A and B are shown apart, each in its own frame.
Chain A
Amino acid sequence: MRRGTLTPYLLITPAMLLLLAFGVLPILVAALVSLTDMNISGLANWSNVEFIGFENYVALANDPDFWRALGNTALFGVIGVPSIVFLSLAVALLLDRSDGRIARALRSFYFVPAVTGIVAISLVWGYLYNTQFGLFNWVLSWFGIGQVQWLSDPWLAKFSVALVAIWRGTGLNIIIFLAALQGVPREYREAAALDGAGEWRTTRSIVLPLLGFAIFFVTVTTTIAWLQFFDEPFVLTDGGPLGATTSVSVFLYKEGFRLNQFGYASAGSLVLFVIIATITLVQLRIRRRDEKP
C-alpha cells in the first residue's frame, strides 16, 4: 500500500469523471427536471422551462396508463424471477453433476442466448411467433391447434414477450451458479454419501444451503432486471397490443422520447428507482433475518 502521492488520483480520475457524469449527476438532474414542465421547447431554450413543484408526481398518480404499466411490470416480475432462478439453478445443478466431454460442450449451448443482441433476437422470435408462416404455429398445427396469436392477443403477448427474456436471461445465471458450485467442497458430498444419503438428499441438504448466497445474489439481480424490463417488449411489440406489454420502462421511454415530456418521464423514472431500491432493501433485510439463527 502506498500513500501520500498524487498517483492514485490520476489513476482514478478518468473513470470517476465518467461515472460521475453518467452515473451520479443524472440522478440529480432527474430530480431537478422532475419538478419542471421540461419538454422539447425547453430543450431548445431553457427559459421555456418552468418550475411546477410536485405536479408531475400528482399527475403520475392519476395516470391510468402509469398504473397499468406498474401492474404489467409486477406481473412480468412474478412470471420472470421464479422462472429464471429455478431454471438456471436446475440446469447448473445438472451440468455440474454431468462430467465428460459431451456435458462440457453442452454448456456453451446454454450460455449463448445471454450474449445475443436483443434486436437481432427479437427479429428471430418475431419470425418464430409469426401467425401466418411462423414455426411455432406450424408445430402446434400437428396437434390440431389452430392459429395462435402469440403477439397480438393481449394476454398471451405478455407471456410471449416474457419467454424471450427468460430465454436470454438464464445463461448468465447458470454461469454464476456453476461458479458457486465449484466452491462446494467435494469432501462434503463424499461424507454425505458415506453416511448413506442419496443424491437428491445431498443436493437438498448440503449443496443448496451452501449455494445460499449465490441464490440470493441471482434473485436480487434478476428482480432488478425485471423491474427494469425494457428491451423485449420495446422491440417485439412496442408495448402493445393496446398497452398489454407496456412495462414501466417502456412507458417512460415513450413519455420521454416520443412525447418529449422530459419532466413527466423523469418523475416516473424516480418513482421506479424508489420502487427498485425499496424492494432490494427488503430482500436484503429478509436475507439478514434468515441468517440469524
Chain B
Amino acid sequence: MRSPEAVRRRAVSAAILAVLVVGALLTAFPLFWMVSGAFKPQREAIDYPPTLLPQEPTLDNFVHLFVELDFGRYLLNTVLVVLIGAFGLLFMAMAGYGFAKFRFRGSRGLFFLVLATLMIPVQVTMIPTYLILNGMKLTNTLIGIALPTLVSGFGVFLFRQFMSTIPDEILEAARVDGAGELRTFAQIVLPMSKPILAVQAVLAFITGWNSFLWPLIIASDQKLYTLSVGLALLNQQLAVDPALQMAAASIMVVPVLLVFVLFQRYVVQGFALSGLK
C-alpha cells in the first residue's frame, strides 16, 4: 500500500511535468513555425487559415535564396567572421593565463580595466568605435566587422577563473623539464583548459554567427553582408514572401541550434564552473 502522501507527491510530479511539456512546446513553437514555413510554396505561406505543415513541401525557397539572391556569399562572410573569432579565443586564453598564473607590475590595475569594460554599453561605444575603425581604414572590411567583439572582458575573466585552478606544481614541473613558456601554454595549459575552451568556443561561435549591429554599421558594401544583414534586407518584403523569409531565417538559426544541442553540456557546465553561484 502506498501512503496517501506518496500518491500526492506523484500527482504533483506528473502535473509539473505536464506544465513543463506545454511550456517547452510553446517556447519552441516559433522555431517549428519557421522551419515549417521554409518548405511552403509562397502561396501556401500566405494562405488563411494557415496550414500547420506544408501541404506541398518544396525546396524552391532555398534555391531562390542561393541562386537569385546572394545568400551563398552572406553565408561565406558569416563563416569567415566566425573563423576570425577563433583568434579572439586564443587572445582571451592567453590573457586569462597571464592574469591567472603570473604576478607582474600593474596586473591588478589591468585586470580591473578588463572588468570595467563589462559595464560599458555597446550604445556608448557604437559611434566612437565606428570613428576609430574609420580612422584605421577598416570600415567595410570583414576584419572591421569582427574586431570590436573579438575579445570580451567576460571571456578573459572566465579564462582567468578557470586557469587559476590549474596547480602551480604542474607548471613548475614542466619548466623544470625544460619546457619553454610557449610550450607550457600550448601543451599543458590549453589541454587542461578544454572545458572552458569549449564553453568559450561555443559562445564565440554563437555571438559571431548572430552578430548584427557591427556588420550593419561597418559593412556598406553588399559583398560584405553577413547573413543577419542580408536577412534584415528581406525584412522589407514581408507582405510579399514570408516563405522565402522563413527559409532564410532557417539558414541562420538551424546551424546555431545544432551547435547548441551538441554542446549544451559545456554551456551549462561553464556557468557552474565560473563560480556564478
Give complex CA distance A22, B133 in Å: 9
B268: Cβ under 8 A from any A Cβ: yes
A110–B126 CA distance with the chains assembled, in angstroms = 31
Residue A75 is within 8 A (CB to CB) of chain B in the complex: no
Chain B interface residue count, CB cutoff 8 Å, equals 100
Q: Which residues of A contact B130 (CB under 8 A)?
A: 257
CB distance from B277 to the nearest CB of A (A): 5
Nearest CB of chain A from residue B272's CB, rounded to whole Å: 4
Cβ–Cβ contact B246 & A123, under 8 A? yes
Interface residues of A in 39-70 (CB under 8 A from B): 43
List which A54-109 residues lie within 8 A (CB) of chain B. Answer: 91, 94-95, 97-98, 102-103, 106-109
Q: Is A176 an interface residue (CB 8 A)?
A: yes
Is A175 a contact of B16 with CB atoms below 8 Å? no
Q: Which residues of A are found within 8 Å of B27, using beta-carbon distances?
A: 109-110, 112-113, 167
Would A120 and B217 count as touching, CB distance under 8 A? Answer: no
| Contacting residue for A43 out of B102, B131, B147, B261, CB 8 A | B131
Q: Taking the nearest CB of chain A, how far is it from the CB of B203, in angstroms? A: 9
Binds A, one of B65-73, B91-99, B190-198: B91-99
Report Cα–Cα, A18/B45, bound state, in Å.
46
Q: Are B114 and A19 interface neighbours, CB within 8 A?
A: yes
Contact, CB under 8 Å: B256 / A116: yes
Say which one of A152-160, A270-278, A285-293 lies at the interface with B.
A270-278
Query: Are B102 and A11 in contact (CB-based, < 8 A)?
Result: yes
Chain B residues within 8 Å of A2, by CB: 101-103
Give Cα distance in the complex from A70 to B224, angstroms.
34
- From DSSP, what is the main secondary structure of chain A's interface residues? helix
Interface members, chain A 6-20 (any B CB < 8 Å): 7-9, 11-12, 14-16, 18-20
Q: Are A14 and B48 in contact (CB under 8 A)?
A: no
Contact, CB under 8 Å: B95 / A272? no
Q: B116, B122, B212, B228 — which one has the most chain A CB atoms within 10 A of its CB? A: B212
Residues of B within 8 A of A116 (CB): 31, 210, 253, 256-257
B192 to chain A, nearest CB (A): 16
Contact B116 A24 (CB under 8 A): yes
Kindly supply a per-residue 1/0 record for chain B positions 20-43, scoring 1 wherever the CB is within 8 Å of any chain A CB and 0 otherwise.
Answer: 110111011011011001000000
| A30 touching B124, Cβ below 8 Å | yes
Within the assembled complex, what's the spacing in Å between the Cα atoms of A102 and B122?
A: 39
CB distance from A218 to the nearest CB of B (A): 10
Chain A proximity of B199: nearest CB distance (Å): 11
Residue of A nearest to B233 (CB): A119
Q: Chain B interface mostly helix, strand, loop or mixed?
A: helix
Shortest distance in angstroms between B274's beta carbon and chain A's nearest beta carbon?
9
Cα A16 to Cα B37 with chains together (Å): 45
CB distance B124 to A270 under 8 Å?
yes
Assembly CA distance A12 to B113 (angstroms): 12
Is the C-beta of A148 less than 8 angstroms from some C-beta in chain B? no
- CB-nearest residue of chain B relative to A141? B49
B102 touches A7 (CB 8 A): yes
Q: Please, how many residues of chain A have a CB less than 8 angstroms from a CB on the other chain? A: 97
Does A228 make an interface contact (CB < 8 A)? Answer: yes
Complex contact A112–B257 (CB within 8 A): yes
B162 at the interface (CB under 8 A from A): no
Tell me if A265 counts as interface (CB < 8 A to partner B).
Answer: yes
Decide if A176 touches B276 in the complex (CB within 8 Å). Answer: yes
**Residues of chain A lying within 8 A (CB to CB) of residue B245:** 123, 127
- The verdict on B117 contacting chain A, using a C-beta distance below 8 Å, is yes
A12 to B24 Cα, complex, angstroms: 43
Check if A127 sits within 8 Å of B242, measured CB to CB: yes
Question: Does B234 interact with chain A (Cβ within 8 Å)?
Answer: yes
- Whether the pair B148, A22 counts as a contact (CB closer than 8 A) is yes
Residue numbers in B under 8 Å from A138 (CB-CB): 48-50
Supposing A9-B104, A11-B95, A24-B116 touch, asked if A30 and B31 sit within 8 A by C-beta, the answer is: no
**What are 17 A-B contacts with C-beta separation under 8 Å?**
A8-B104, A22-B129, A22-B148, A26-B125, A27-B124, A94-B20, A112-B27, A116-B253, A116-B257, A123-B235, A123-B238, A127-B246, A133-B46, A230-B122, A230-B123, A272-B123, A276-B121
Chain B residues packing against A (C-beta within 8 Å): 12-13, 16-17, 19-21, 23-25, 27-28, 30-31, 33-34, 37, 45-50, 88, 91-92, 94-95, 97-99, 101-104, 107, 110, 113-114, 116-117, 119-132, 134, 147-151, 153, 156, 168, 181, 185, 206, 209-210, 212-213, 217, 227-229, 231-232, 234-235, 238, 242, 245-246, 248-250, 252-253, 256-257, 259-261, 264, 267-268, 271-272, 276-277
Beyond the given pairs A26-B120, A127-B242, A224-B121, 8 more chain A to chain B contacts, judged by CB atoms under 8 angstroms and listed by A's residue number, are: A9-B104, A102-B21, A116-B210, A116-B253, A116-B256, A119-B235, A120-B250, A127-B245
